[in-house]
A and B are shown apart, each in its own frame.
Chain A
Amino acid sequence: KQEVTQIPAALSVPEGENLVLNCSFTDSAIYNLQWFRQDPGKGLTSLLLIQSSQREQTSGRLNASLDKSSGRSTLYIAASQPGDSATYLCAVRPIRDDKIIFGKGTRLHILP
């Protein structure tokens, strides 16, 4: 059964630093992987979607990579800002099941 893990659960970094959030999954048979952002008490905002045939996707200061063979994805945030503070979740779409599987998220706090 597919499992998605995000470590660490929480992270605090000073403003301006570049940082990497990690997502690992146990079964490499996936269609795609999606990164989301969630602000407290709000819904999920899609950041990046990586199809299984892709290695990475970029949007502004965000870059997401995918290594299916090792079961890992990273979300790179450049020049972090206090407005980046939020919980970041990754979700995979397995090939064998149409239900996406979410990680528990990493709660990111950017220190001004």
Chain B
Amino acid sequence: DVKVTQSSRYLVKRTGEKVFLECVQDMDHENMFWYRQDPGLGLRLIYFSYDVKMKEKGDIPEGYSVSREKKERFSLILESASTNQTSMYLCASRVGQHYGYTFGSGTRLTVV
């Protein structure tokens, strides 16, 4: 069965810290995505990547960056965490542009 693994289920970080959220997929998928999910706002796309070393801004990239050095790994970086980045973060991958998405189990990040 295909699998997208997010390294942490829960994280608590302090304001101003640099935070790394890791996502690994074992399906040789080309495309990977980072979303955040907030009550009343639904899922919002932060960044995505079509291939290794490639990255594209989504709808809300401010305050975030990403890294994709290997095909299977897509990291989301909060350069200086702020309380308004407290959220559920979801990673997803897909084979290619016309295929369905597979999501990870999510990381609940709290910034205090």
Contact = CB atoms under 8 A, between A and B. Distances in A.
Contact of A41 (B45, B92, B102, B108): B108
Interface residues of B, number: 22
Interface residues of A, number: 22
Given A99-B58, A102-B43, A104-B42, A42 B106 contact: yes
A46 B92 CA distance: 11
Interface string B93-107: 000011111111110
A111 B24 CA distance: 37
Contacts of B98: 31-32, 51, 93
A102 B42 contact: yes
A34 interface: yes
The interface residues of chain A, by DSSP majority, are classed as: strand
A46 B106 contact: no
Interface in A54-112: 89, 91, 93, 98-100, 102-105
A44 interface: yes
Given A93-B98, A98-B97, A36 B42 contact: no
Interface in B60-92: 88, 90, 92
A36 B105 CA distance: 13
Contacts of A29: none
A46 B100 contact: yes
A100 B101 contact: yes
A102 B104 CA distance: 16
A93 B99 CA distance: 9
Interface of A: 31-32, 34, 36, 41-46, 49, 51, 89, 91, 93, 98-100, 102-105
18 contacts: A31-B98, A32-B100, A41-B88, A41-B108, A42-B106, A43-B106, A44-B92, A46-B101, A46-B102, A46-B103, A49-B100, A89-B43, A91-B101, A98-B97, A99-B48, A99-B58, A99-B59, A100-B101
Interface of B: 4, 6, 42-43, 45, 48, 58-59, 88, 90, 92, 97-106, 108
